[in-house]
Structure 1
Amino acid sequence: MLDTRVSRRAMLMGTGAAAAWLASPARALLQAVGKVAVPGFVDALIARMTPEEKAGQLQIMPSAWGGGAALSLNPPGNGSDFDQQVNEARQGQLTGVFNGNGARMARLLQNAAVKESRMKIPMIFAADIIHGHRTIFPVPLAEVASFEPDLARRTAEAAAFEASGAGIDWTFSPMVDVARDQRWGRGVEGGGEDPMLGSLFAAARVRGFQGADLKSPEHMLACIKHFAAYGAAESGLDYDVANMSMRRLHEVYLPPYKAGFDAGALSAMASFNEINGIPSTGNHWLMTDLLRGQWGFQGFVVSDYTGDEEMIAGGYAKDGRDAARIAFLAGVDMSMASGLYRKFLPDLVRSGEVPQAKLDESVRRVLALKAMLGLFDDPFRRIDEKREAARSLLPKTRALAREAGRKSIVLLKNDGDLLPLPRSGKRIALIGPFASGAHDLVGPWVVYGDDAKAVDLATGVRAAVRDPSSVIVAEGSKVEEPLPGGIEQAVAAARDADIVLLAIGEHTGMSGEAQSRTEIVVPEPQQKLAEAVAAVGKPVVVVLKHGRALALEGAVADAQAILATWFLGTETGNAIADVLFGAYGPSGRLPASFPWKSGQQPYYYAHKPTGRPNPPGELQPYKAHFRGIPNSARYPFGHGLTYGKIDYSGLTLSAPALPMNGRIEVAATIINRGTRAAEEVAQLYIHDRVASVTRPVRELKAFRKIALAPGQSQVVRFTLSAADLAFYGLQDRPVVEPGTFDVWIAPSAEAEGVHGTFDVVA
């Protein structure tokens, strides 16, 4: 039966609506889809290649001579050693390796490929440059807390500068998965819970890694991962299934990938998870119909680590040969780590199960990207041992790491204006497992960085105070187990101090791949430490180390001040000290909601109202909330305090109604009534009151970061078009419907700020 209500109200936008819908009023940050130029010599090469050589161009393996932490993160497996890989390069069986040991390793392999192989095709060298190479920047989730996409562009560019100097052509980054369940450990690598914010950071990082010309020896190829919806794994369990409607997939999970491709990314990585019963690595609709057909992607797709082979255990392929066939025909051009493509593709082509033309098409994509990277012009353009050392840990990149670190810190709480701390006149007890020491500084998913070259918290604090001897350090406990005598030592330090800095949270291994947690709380030994220290009665500042939003409890939640400091990288201690002592005012905002309890997960601000929302005020029976807690966050998405006193007032709308082909301006006055300068992030949210598909209670549509001196006010203005209000409708297309919309300019997703309404009219 025809839905007359929808057909009467829904207004389908033109062909440009989907792109506008995927972005925001800040969509100007996105650029055109990346184009691949295929040089004429590529087809001539393909015509001369054997099926085995073609399959070799579609097989990448972890380097048997791994660099840094590579061997533990991605062991080479299959009994491979480096001499064997050099021989495979000579035989044309290997398109490249990843996470190798720098320029020297790359030179040996490249020599074998371009001087000793039959086809002389250069190898490509890849690595997991997730948040830095030698200089390590804040983990991606932390950096998103800056609400400054251009900061991410600059840190990605700096990472590319270092990494490309070490022979790396291609990074498996950015990871752009939306994560709305904080139990999932890999949320630390992504863009948080909001698709609009995640899209802007995805695009910025692509531009930073790739620059204006892929041939630049200071840039490298970006890879959008993990395609798709990896962050939607059930219960936050890594590698698990994702079951969802196509509407949720299109509205929430796909936009950041699309933004990254629109910004020019020319490689993609298939995700480990399945979507509605189909593994991504074998999903033809996802990899071919959507990615290439609808989105016009021209680059190549690589599997994740043994992702093709894992379809066997997942019950989607019967054996390795079947897995190679399924993945390749689905649209995965390159196999990572399993070796299945070079083992089975030649025979699959000979048998007719895989068309020869499709094999040639995938090889063409890979060779074209190698050409765009300048590898055919100069296979050694990024391989230079002297340049590798000359680019590492430069003062300018360390300065950028410090800037990124302090901009990533979020001030969650500051009762009584305890912060910033005075630089003199107070004795400080720095307590906790993260108080000092070269550990847990650079964070998870770091291949080449080193805690030993990073600044710990004690070093940063002592450098910030006038009398370093006024800082007392006590470990108190280990991260996940008690320390004999530790609590007694910590309590004694607290009694001897005026102020306590309590450095607690998660260690590096508690976030990242395969690190899902059932309880996203401070581990029990540290919680007991916090309770004992709080009982001393001294002012407590909690300095959290973490790779996800946490459910804070007891003395941790009750502390007078709380800083969310994540894993900040090389300049950790200096960045935190800058904020603690007021050299830099906190300006970060939460990219993920801190729940009241772990059991609320998945929790995200843009939830549906349901038919029984709890009205403002006390909890009522038979309403949508868990027993004893509201359906809200302790600290919601977008939350973050400053050292100023910020007020919002005077919402104005340029008109009472927004025509389908028009625009409306929304403005508000923001004033700093405090005595310290502040940076405020004004956030624009909307809510569609009545629609043919129920809409979230709020959706972020724009934000603006402004600097305010004491007593200064500023009018912030945002412009909305009808396309910015679109959603994925009943016709499986973006639609905008006439009706009434709420609009807020507010300091967080759950703050009132200033509020108004307008109508969309046909």
Structure 2
Amino acid sequence: MILKYTFIGLVFLIGLFTNAAGQQTGLPYQDKTLDTDTRINDLIGRMTLEEKVGQLSTLLGWEMYDNSGDLATYSEVLEKAVRERHIGSLWATLRADPWTQKTLANGLDPEQAAHATNAIQEFVINHTRLGIPLILAEEAPHGHMAIGATVFPTSIGQSSTWNPELIREMAKVIAKETRLQGGHIGYGPVLDLAREPRWSRVEETYGEDPYLNSRMGIAMVTGFQGSDLMSGENVASTLKHFAAYGVPEGGHNGFGLSVGLRELHQSYFPPFRAAILAGAKSIMTSYNSIDGIPSTANPYLFRKVLREDWGFKGFVVSDLGSISGLRGSHRVAGSGEEAASLAIRAGVDADLGGNGFDRNLIAAVKKGWVGSAMLDEAVANVLRLKFEMGLFENPFVDPEKAKREVRKPEHVQLARQVAQASITLLKNEGNLLPLNKDIRKVAVIGPNAHNIYNQLGDYTAPQPESNVVTVLEGLQQKLGVDRVEYVKGVAIRDTTEQDIEAAVAAARAAEVAVVVLGGSSARDFSIQHEDTGAARVSQSENEIVSDMESGEGYDRMSLDLMGHQLKLLQAIQATGTPVVLVLIKGRPLLLNWPAGHIPSILEAWYPGQEGGNAIADVLFGDYNPAGRLPVSVPLSVGQLPVYYNYKVPSKHDYVEASAEPLYAFGHGLSYTTFDYQDLQVEVKGNAQDPAVSVQFTVTNSGQMEGDEVVQLYIRDLVSSTVSPVKQLVRFERASIPVGESKIFSFILGKEDLQLMDMEMNWVVEPGDFELMVGASSRDIRLKEKFELR
């Protein structure tokens, strides 16, 4: 099959004749020896207005294949879209979930997926005038969102590893599994700061801090894209969502916010800038507005900051339906043509969904609202990636290779490693953990102990049960089935589903109770969806109550454990049996009662398909936990927003309680202990060209080898504009054997010490700084002041 496709591609590209579709061959844009800009300019010069606009349309892809026969092929929907709309891209062709209505029964496995994408490309290349291949964009934040792919922890768990190199290796695997099936773009990473835990999409982020987000973003981009986009195993990265999408008013997904320009530049822009400088090829607009301007219509974001200031050379894609939203939800445009004009003039190159540009942009060009040069610029930005990926020369993939290498054992093992590294020990009173493997009986209780989809998070394809190891199964594999008793007890949300008495009986008969609570982003086929794919919350009394309380569209008013989960936990605790609480969820929840009454608490977020094995490894000491919180855990929603690097002055307590979070950013315990000593700070240069050398020693003073995550924070003691109480500037995760020491060394430069002054210039100001070294933002072990002259 692949020989057939490759042969067709070569004949089309280098043959010296006109084929059945009337295509001329041997043209400059078909000559791979020419530079990319020459090829782009030649191709654009041959295109009609309709063909140009078509290249900017990214249609929903799951309707474009037909797998009703023996071999997956293109559908009539694709034929019509190509013939009438000259489309240039597809999105989520291989996506499977309740929104797309693609299941294990009617979706595509990796081999079928490769056949389908090959057939789609073959039709487009051979049945269009210019034979331009499609770009296929796929969702890939924690694994390719396609049947049969490896499922890793969601992004909030990935950042809990505080290990960018491990995340880069994970991203390489996700890219390979996507590319082998015919995908070219991976949507991700999401670089929004999560400073609003009521917001439904916290799980998709790397947390609340710009520096941690930047490091994770760079890891994902370089892992996705590698050094050669023509490798056949790499994909382009699309950054999401520009900008400041993660802090909507009231936690409402897509709502506007009012934030100062200086705060945008100092907090919200840096992760995106870091990823752009790392080479990201694409970036997505956000649904929200900033100070009254919708992001999709904001030229300051895309023309000034992105292209002029940062030198971005890729393309900007709208979020799904956000161009139409300029007219519908934001009401800043009176017609579709006006909305299309606003978006392209703002610097939006591609239309995700295909209904924002299309005939509206054609009409706007004909009316003179959009100039031909501006249209050609957008088309060039999209075509550039097609040439850089070598799609004109090799648009096809090998189905046999996809079958062989997607979700192979090494990938599953890496999913377990990432899950292990992400698990965070929040509390371990009396060293209850790790548990002894000689334990006679363990009770495993709770709604997330044995539910595969509650463990996987949003943007996950359907899974065969054999692909996912739950907490129950992980413990059974560790101890044997006979020593583990399971009782669900309650549901996540449904208060009519409960069997607390059976759970209490199981706890009383056990030596320890492992209670697995939290939340769920698991969509089911009873959930309704918005046009954007977000889940729609329903208040209907007759509707079935799903577990879903997180995931896109499921914003929260409170952060309490829902349903009767707390009631269950309290009943188990009252038995007197030692309790370990394991949390599987997508956002910070209020843990005040558990923190005061439960001896050991593990945070697992959504740990992916190997989560059960990883949690069992940590519970029994086969893996010493070293995850750290990438977000603060509040005491109350009344504290919100609560994040560690707020601006001075320092907060004072409330009448009712402390202003401090329950668990601080960077917090995480270990089964061993670490001592910090011998901090040395040396300042070289001056404020114009600073170099601050930092060195200190960490010793494993406990009884077990383990990883420590050292964290370096800076405070500018006197600044011309208000600065944070502290700001993370470096971190490193390293394994230290028992009784041994490791010297950590860092050098801080201009970007670590700068601020934006009153005139909106980035400057490093002379004066005094305080350096803080610790195990979390609250657990500072060493301090030293230094002066920049």
What TM-score comes out, normalization by structure 2 length?
0.86
Aligned with residue 679 of structure 2, among 626, 647, 651: 651
- Aligned-pair distance for 1:556? 5.7
User: Which residue number corresponds to residue 231 of structure 1?
Assistant: 246
Counterpart AA for 1:226: H
**Which consecutive residues of structure 1, in runs of 5 or more, have no partner in the other structure?**
1-35, 69-80, 615-623
2:712 counterpart (679, 684, 709): 684
1:641 aligns with 2:639: no
* Partner residue in 2 for 1:491: 504
Q: CA deviation at 1:589?
A: 0.6
1:52 lines up with 2:50 in the alignment: yes
Q: Secondary structure at the match of 1:633?
A: coil
Residue of structure 2 in register with 1:349 after alignment? 365
1:526 matched to which residue of 2? 565
Q: How far apart are residue 518 of structure 1 and its match?
A: 1.5
Deviations 1:443-479 (A, max 9, x none): 11124655652111111111112x4311111101011
- 2:441 maps to 1:441: no
Q: Does the 8 Å contact 1:87/1:112 carry over to 2?
A: no
> Where do 1:346-495 residues align within 5 Å?
346-380=362-396, 383-447=397-461, 453-465=467-479, 467-482=480-495, 484=497, 486-495=499-508
For 1:523 and 1:333, how far apart are their aligned partners in 2? 42
Report if the CA contact (8 A) 2:287-2:319 is conserved. yes
1:97 aligns with 2:90: yes
Equivalent of 1:85, from 57, 60, 78?
Answer: 78
TM-score normalised by structure 1 residue count: 0.89
- Summarize deviations over 1:491-528 as a string: whole Å, max 9, x none: 00000001010100001233321122111221141011
Which of residues 210, 226, 236 is equivalent to 1:195? 210
Tell me, yes or no, if the aligned pair for 2:419 and 2:614 is still in contact at 8 Å.
yes
The amino acid across from 1:748 in the alignment is S
Counterpart CA distance in 2 for 1:268 and 1:506 is: 30
The alpha-carbon deviation at position 658 of structure 1 amounts to 6.2
The residue type equivalent to 1:453 in the other structure is N
Distance in 1 (CA, whole Å) between partners of 2:65 and 2:198 is 30
Q: What amino acid is aligned across from residue 296 of structure 2 in structure 1?
A: T
Structure 2, unmatched stretches of 5+, are: 1-33, 67-73, 95-112, 522-547
Alpha carbons 2:684, 2:691 under 8 Å: kept? no
- Greater alpha carbon shift after TM alignment, 336-345 vs 443-452: 443-452
What is the Cα deviation at residue 388 of structure 1? 2.3
Residue 788 of structure 2 aligns with an amino acid whose one-letter code is: V
Asked if the contact 1:172–1:222 (Cα under 8 Å) also holds between the matched residues in 2, the reply is: yes
The CA distance in 2 between the partners of 1:190 and 1:300, in whole Å, is 22
Q: What CA distance in whole angstroms lies between the structure 2 residues aligned with 1:345 and 1:492?
A: 66
8 Å CA contact 1:90, 1:112 repeated in 2 = no
Q: Relative to 1, partners in 2 of residues 1:285 and 1:555: Cα closer, same or farther, differing over 3 Å?
A: closer
Pairing of 1:99-118 with structure 2 (within 5 A): 99-101=92-94, 102-118=113-129
Which of 41, 44, 47 in structure 2 is aligned with 1:43?
A: 41
CA shift, 1:384, in A, is: 3.2
Deviation readout 1:658-679 (Å, 9 max, x if unpaired) = 6643423233332222111111
Q: Does the CA contact (< 8 Å) of 1:429 and 1:471 recur in 2?
A: yes
Q: What SS does structure 1 have at the residue aligned with 2:710? A: strand
Measure how far apart 1:655 and its partner are: 5.6
Name the amino acid aligned to 2:90: V
SS of equivalent residue, structure 1 residue 595: coil
Contact 1:427 1:497 (C-alpha < 8 Å) held by counterparts: yes
Question: 1:321-374: CA deviations, max 9, x gaps?
Answer: 111111111110111114231112222222211101111111112112111111
User: Match for residue 607 of structure 2?
Assistant: 568
Q: Say whether the 8 Å CA contact 1:90–1:113 is kept in structure 2.
A: no
Corresponding residue for 2:350?
Answer: 334
Partners of 1:137 and 1:568 within 8 A in 2: yes
Match of 2:8 in 1: none
Equivalent-residue separation in structure 2 for 1:157 and 1:511 (angstroms): 27
Name which of structure 1's ranges 654-663 and 223-232 shifts more when overlaid on structure 2: 654-663
> Matches of 1:482 and 1:430 in 2, distance apart?
20
CA distance in 2 between partners of 1:568 and 1:438 (Å): 11
Q: 1:155 aligned to 2:194?
A: no
Letter in 1 for 2:517: I
> For 1:644-666, what per-residue CA distance to the aligned partner results, in whole angstroms no more than 9, with x for missing partners?
02222333323699664342323
Is the contact between residue 512 and residue 578 of structure 2 (CA under 8 Å) also seen in structure 1? yes
- Amino acid in the other structure paired with 1:47: G
Q: How many angstroms does 1:67 deviate by?
A: 9.4
Displacement after TM superposition at 1:250 (Å) = 0.3
Identify which of 129, 137, 150 aligns with 1:126.
137
CA drift at 1:715: 2.9
Matched, 1:754 2:782: yes
Measured in 2, the distance between the counterparts of 1:65 and 1:452 equals 28
1:142 deviates by 0.5
Structure 2 residue 705 is the aligned partner of structure 1 residue 705: no
Question: Secondary structure of the equivalent of 1:174?
Answer: strand
Residues 455 and 584 in structure 2, CA contact (< 8 A), matched pair in contact too: no
Change (3 A) 1:447 1:324: farther
Provide runs of 4+ in structure 1 moved above 6 Å.
none
Equivalent in the alignment of 1:310: 325
> 1:182–1:457: structure 2 CA closer, same or farther, 3 Å change rule?
same
- What residue is the counterpart of 1:29 in the other structure? none
- The aligned runs of 1:168-247 (5 Å cut-off) are 168-247=183-262
Q: Please, which of 592, 610, 616 is the counterpart of residue 631 of structure 2?
A: 592
Equivalent AA in structure 1 for residue 568 of structure 2:
L
Task: Give 1:16's aligned residue.
Answer: none
Deviation at 1:111? 2.0
Equivalent in the alignment of 1:285: 300
- Tell me the matched-pair count: 700
Distance 2:594 2:754 in 1: 44
The correspondence of residues 528-547 of structure 1 with structure 2, limited to 5 A, is: 528-547=567-586
CA contact (8 A) 1:579 1:585 kept: yes
Matched, 1:720 2:731: no
Contact preservation (8 Å) 1:130, 1:446? no
Shift of 1:39: 4.2
The match for 2:517 among 504, 508, 515 is 504
Could you tell me which amino acid in structure 1 is paired with residue 82 of structure 2?
A
Q: Which moved more, 1:408-417 or 1:329-338?
A: 329-338
Q: Give the drift of 1:757.
A: 1.2
Q: Which sits farther off after the overlay, 712-721 or 258-267?
A: 712-721
- Picking from 233, 243, 268, the partner of 2:283 is 268
Deviation at 1:625, TM superposition (A): 2.7
1:713: how far off?
2.5
Q: Is the 8 A contact 1:92 1:113 kept in 2?
A: no
Task: Pick closer, same or farther for the CA change 1:485–1:372 going to 2, 3 Å.
Answer: closer
What does the per-residue CA deviation read over 1:105-160, in whole Å, with 9 as the maximum and x for residues that have no partner?
32332122100111211111111111112101110111111111111111111011
SS of structure 2 residue aligned to 1:309: helix
Aligned residue number for residue 632 of structure 1: 660
Identical positions, percent: 36
| Contact 1:144 1:591 (8 Å CA) reproduced | yes
One of 617, 624, 632 as aligned partner of 1:578: 617
